[in-house]
């Protein structure tokens, strides 16, 4: 470059005279100079374009790298989410299988218990029917015997009737409802009656008949009471078995309901997880595709920028080689035709040429300092003009070079600080974004937990109120049962005592007077019905009380378990909510600290922009302009040096002539 400028300055000095005569040499040198100027102009344009392209490469590369970093983070989060959902799905499927197995076992147990209960109920129904029939038969037999005994004398018809009763007793003896001892006793009485009847050809003795009949009646009454007791025991056993089955059935049904509810919840969670997984997989596919595209784009951008840089370096080298060749050619031509400069006669021509050159340079670059320099050069009129003008130009060149060095230092500082501050800003903004997301998630989870805690609190309150109502109802039922049982038992005892009293009285009366009162028989029959009703009512009352007590105990235990479960849920959810609130508070404090740092970074970045960015002229433009000014001033110096050289040669030729 320096050799080219030197050749250009020498050629300019020679052309000042040679061009006036239309010398071919001058035209050649002029064409070379014009070509040099064109090449230099193209180089400046290419440099400016390359600097803009390099800035574009840097900005796009930074943006793509940030997008790639963000996409990789999203891919990691989505992959972790999918893995977590897969793990949850495995756990939910296992839970569903366990619940299905438990439900199958409960259903089998319920079916088995139901089959056993049905069999027990059928056996009880058959036994009850048989016992009721036996009791009815015994009651009617006693009634018939008592009526026959009450008539006193025994006619032939009465004997036949008694015989019929004996035959009925004989059938009853064979009934399965009587145990062997009672059956043997009744059989002996019946056989004794038959023998007395068979041994007498005439009418039986009344006293003998009454004695036999009285023994049979007592035996039948005993059997009737035993049958009634057996029926009462069977009914109690049936009631207890039914209550026990009801409790087992209720327990199994409750377990089935809970298992069905848990299964539905697990299936719902499984479906929701599958939906979330599908969304996450879709997002992962899109993000992975974007990541691949960004990675490919970054690689393409890198290749493009490297190719452009290589092309720019090759073009710079090519232009340098071309300028060197042109400068060499001009230098050879000027040295070979150096005598053409002898036509320079005027001392002021080099000075004026340099002044005009500086003025043109000031006008082209719009530099007030160069215009002032040209004026100062024009005012130099005494002494060593060339030396003074060269000194002015040299001072200006030194000043411009110092400014260029200062600007380069400022540019390096600005680039370094802007890059580091921008990176710090992006880092802190990313940190704030992540903290904000975590804070929002913690707040949302805490709010949800608070809602669940409030719901659990209401459920516990409702459960306590329900238990209190149950306790009150149970106490009232218990008190009512105790009072009713005592009253019913007292009434039953009274009826039994009245029956016994009437039966004893009428039995003695019949023996004494030999007559029977049909009204008294009706009273006894009515009392017997009352006794049966009171006995049945007392049994039902006790069965109902037992069932109510069992239901109360079962429900109370279930409420206690449910209360404990809900209280534990409240405890753990409260603990988790408090932890989330604490974590959110800590993260909020951290975010405030990061925000304070970010505010300071933004403030510093704004100052850097005011210092480094917010300027009318970019560094590259200012650098190019200053380099053009320095090159122009160097060229002016070359003009003066060439003029001084020509002046020296002219003086030497004058000396030789003398």
**Which of 21-25, 33-37, 312-316 is predicted with the least confidence, judged by mean pLDDT?**
21-25
d(CA 563, CA 545): 26
User: What's the pLDDT at 506?
Assistant: 74
Q: What does the alpha-carbon distance between residue 230 and residue 108 come to, in Å, rounded to a whole number?
A: 34
Report pLDDT for 461.
92
pLDDT for the residue 12: 47
For residue 367 the two structure tokens come to: 């530099």
Q: Inform me whether the pLDDT recorded for 334 exceeds 70.
A: no
3-state secondary structure of 243: helix
| Averaged confidence pLDDT in the chain | 75
Kindly state the helix (H) or strand (E) to which residue 95 belongs, with its residue range: helix 24-150
Average pLDDT score over residue span 187-206: 47
Q: Which of 151, 633, 82 is nearest to 396 (CA)?
A: 633
Q: Which region, left, alpha or beta, applies to residue 379 given φ > 0 means left and ψ of -120 to 50 means alpha?
A: alpha
For the residues 170-185, what does the mean pLDDT come to? 49
Q: Among 133-142, 508-517, 627-636, which is the least confidently predicted range?
A: 508-517
Instruction: Give the closest residue to 127 by CA, choosing from 138, 547, 245, 119.
Output: 119
Q: Give the pLDDT confidence score for residue 595 in this predicted structure.
A: 92
pLDDT digits (tens, 9 = 90+) for 508-537: 766 665 555 555 567 777 778 888 888 998
pLDDT in tens, 246-264: 899 898 888 899 999 999 9
pLDDT in tens, 365-398: 666 666 666 666 666 555 554 565 566 666 666 7
Residue 473 to residue 549: CA distance in whole angstroms: 11
Instruction: Quote the CA–CA distance of 50 and 58 in Å, as a whole number.
Output: 12
pLDDT of residue 114: 93
Closest C-alpha to 365, from 651, 628, 81, 62: 628
Picking from 1, 74, 173, the residue whose alpha carbon sits closest to that of residue 635 is 1
Q: How many CB atoms lie within 10 A of CB 642?
A: 23
pLDDT at 657: 45
Query: Two tokens at 386?
Result: 């060339």
pLDDT value for 59: 87
pLDDT bin (cut points 50, 70, 90) of residue 629 is: low
Is pLDDT above 60 for 6? no
Q: With 70 as the cut, is the pLDDT of residue 617 above it?
A: no
Q: What is the pLDDT of residue 553?
A: 92
* CA dihedral angle for residue 325, residue 330, residue 333, residue 337, rounded to 10 degrees: -160
Tokens 């409240």: give the residue: 570
pLDDT confidence tier of residue 224, bands split at 50, 70 and 90: confident
Distance, CA of 260 to CA of 254 (rounded, Å): 10
CB atoms within 10 A of CB 141: 21
Q: Using the structure block, give the residue that is written with the tokens 């006790």.
A: 542
Q: Average pLDDT of 195-223?
A: 56
In this structure, what token pair is assigned to residue 247? 């409790």
pTM above 0.95, yes or no: no
Question: Which residue do the tokens 């009934």 mark?
Answer: 175
Q: pLDDT for 585-615, tens place per residue?
A: 999 999 999 899 889 988 888 888 877 764 5
Q: Quote the tokens at residue 300.
A: 């393409």
pLDDT digit string, tens, across residues 99-119:
999 999 989 998 999 999 999
Mean pLDDT, range 210-224, rounded to an integer: 69
**DSSP helix, strand, coil percent of the chain (3-state; round to 5):** 95, 0, 5
Query: CA torsion, points 179, 184, 186, 188, in degrees to nearest 10?
Result: 180
How far from chain centre, in Å, is Cα 630?
A: 68
Q: How far is CA 438 from CA 273, 342, 575, 578, in A?
A: 21, 87, 19, 16
Handedness of CA 196, 202, 205, 209 (dihedral sign): positive
Tell me: the pLDDT tens digits for 410-424? 677 788 888 888 888
Extract the tokens encoding 479: 């008190």
Q: How many helices (H) and strands (E) does the chain have?
A: 10, 0
Where residue 345 falls among pLDDT bands split at 50, 70, 90? very low
Local structure of 339: helix, strand or coil: helix
Give the whole-angstrom CA distance, residue 555 versus residue 248: 13
- Model confidence band, residue 648 (pLDDT cutoffs 50, 70, 90): low
Under DSSP, the state recorded for 338 is G
In angstroms, how far apart are the furthest CA atoms of the chain? 216
- pLDDT on residue 100: 92
Query: Which of the pair, 618 or 91, is modelled with greater confidence?
Result: 91
Share of the chain above pLDDT 90, in %: 18
Burial of 233 (0-12, 13-18, 19+ CB in 10 A): exposed
Q: What is the pLDDT of residue 387?
A: 60
> Checking phi first, is residue 344 left (phi over 0); if not, alpha (psi -120 to 50) or beta?
beta
Window from 225-229, 447-451, 521-525 with minimum mean pLDDT: 521-525
> Are 15 and 349 in contact, with CB atoms under 8 Å apart?
no
Residues 6+ apart with CB under 8 A from 30: 11, 15, 19
Q: CA gyration radius for the chain? A: 64
Lowest pLDDT segment from 80-84, 173-177, 215-219, 530-534: 173-177
Place of tokens 């001072």: 395
Question: DSSP letters of 557-623?
Answer: HHHHHHHHHHHHHHHHHHHHHHHHHHHHHHHHHHHHHHHHHHHHHHHHHHHHIIIIIS-SS-HHHHH
pLDDT reported for residue 450 = 92
């Amino acid at each position: 470059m320096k050799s080219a400028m030197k050749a250009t300055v020498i050629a300019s000095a020679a052309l000042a005279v040679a061009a006036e005569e239309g010398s071919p040499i001058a035209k050649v040198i002029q064409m070379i100079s014009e070509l040099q100027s064109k090449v230099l102009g193209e180089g400046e344009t290419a440099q400016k374009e390359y600097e803009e392209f390099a800035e574009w490469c840097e900005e796009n590369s930074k943006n793509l790298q940030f997008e790639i970093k963000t996409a990789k983070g999203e891919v990691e989060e989505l992959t972790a989410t999918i893995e977590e959902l897969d793990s949850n799905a495995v756990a939910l499927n296992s839970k569903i299988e366990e619940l299905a197995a438990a439900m199958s076992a409960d259903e089998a147990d319920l079916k088995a218990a139901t089959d056993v209960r049905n069999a027990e109920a059928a056996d009880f129904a058959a036994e009850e029917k048989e016992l009721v029939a036996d009791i009815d038969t015994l009651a009617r037999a006693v009634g018939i015997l008592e009526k026959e005994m009450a008539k006193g004398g025994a006619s032939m018809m009465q004997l036949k009737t008694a015989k019929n009763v004996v035959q009925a007793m004989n059938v009853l003896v064979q009934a399965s409802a009587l145990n062997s001892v009672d059956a043997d006793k009744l059989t002996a009485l019946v056989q004794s009656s038959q023998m007395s009847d068979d041994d007498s050809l005439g009418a039986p003795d009344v006293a003998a008949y009454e004695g036999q009949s009285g023994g049979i009646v007592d035996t039948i009454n005993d059997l009737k009471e035993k049958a009634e007791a057996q029926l009462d025991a069977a009914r109690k056993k049936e009631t207890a078995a039914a209550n026990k089955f009801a409790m087992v059935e209720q327990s199994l049904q409750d377990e089935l309901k809970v298992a069905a509810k848990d299964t539905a919840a697990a299936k719902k969670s499984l479906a929701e997880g599958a939906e979330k997984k599908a969304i996450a997989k879709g997002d992962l596919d899109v993000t992975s595709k974007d990541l691949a595209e960004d990675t490919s784009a970054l690689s393409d951008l890198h290749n493009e920028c490297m190719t452009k840089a290589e092309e720019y370096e090759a073009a710079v080298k090519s232009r340098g080689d071309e300028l060197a060749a042109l400068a060499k050619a001009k230098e050879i031509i000027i040295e070979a035709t150096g005598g053409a400069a002898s036509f320079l006669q005027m001392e002021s021509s080099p000075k004026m040429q340099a002044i005009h050159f500086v003025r043109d340079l000031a006008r082209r670059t719009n530099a007030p300092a160069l215009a002032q320099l040209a004026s100062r050069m024009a005012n130099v009129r005494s002494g060593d003009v060339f030396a003074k003008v060269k000194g002015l130009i040299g001072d200006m060149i030194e000043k411009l070079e110092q400014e260029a060095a200062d600007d380069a230092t400022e540019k390096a500082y600005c680039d370094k600080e802007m890059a580091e501050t921008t990176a710090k800003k992006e880092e802190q903004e990313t940190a704030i974004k992540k903290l904000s997301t975590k804070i929002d998630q913690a707040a949302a989870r805490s709010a949800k937990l608070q809602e669940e805690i409030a719901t659990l609190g209401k459920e516990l309150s409702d459960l306590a109120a329900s238990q209190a109502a149950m306790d009150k109802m149970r106490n009232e039922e218990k008190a009512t049962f105790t009072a009713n049982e005592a009253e019913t038992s007292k009434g039953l005892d009274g009826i039994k005592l009245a029956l016994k009293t009437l039966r004893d009285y009428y039995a003695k009366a019949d023996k004494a007077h030999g007559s029977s009162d049909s009204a008294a028989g009706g009273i006894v029959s009515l009392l017997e019905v009352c006794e049966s009703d009171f006995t049945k009512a007392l049994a039902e009352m006790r069965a109902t009380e037992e069932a109510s007590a069992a239901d109360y105990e079962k429900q109370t235990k279930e409420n206690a378990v449910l209360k404990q479960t809900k209280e534990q849920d409240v405890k753990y959810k409260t603990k988790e909510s408090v932890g989330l609130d604490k974590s959110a508070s800590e993260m909020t404090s951290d975010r405030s600290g990061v925000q304070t740092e970010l505010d300071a970074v933004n403030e510093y970045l704004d100052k850097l922009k005011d210092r480094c960015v917010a300027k009318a002229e970019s560094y590259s433009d200012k650098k190019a302009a200053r380099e053009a000014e320095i090159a122009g001033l160097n060229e002016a110096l070359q003009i003066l040096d060439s003029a001084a050289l020509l002046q020296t040669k002219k003086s030497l030729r004058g000396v030789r002539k003398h």
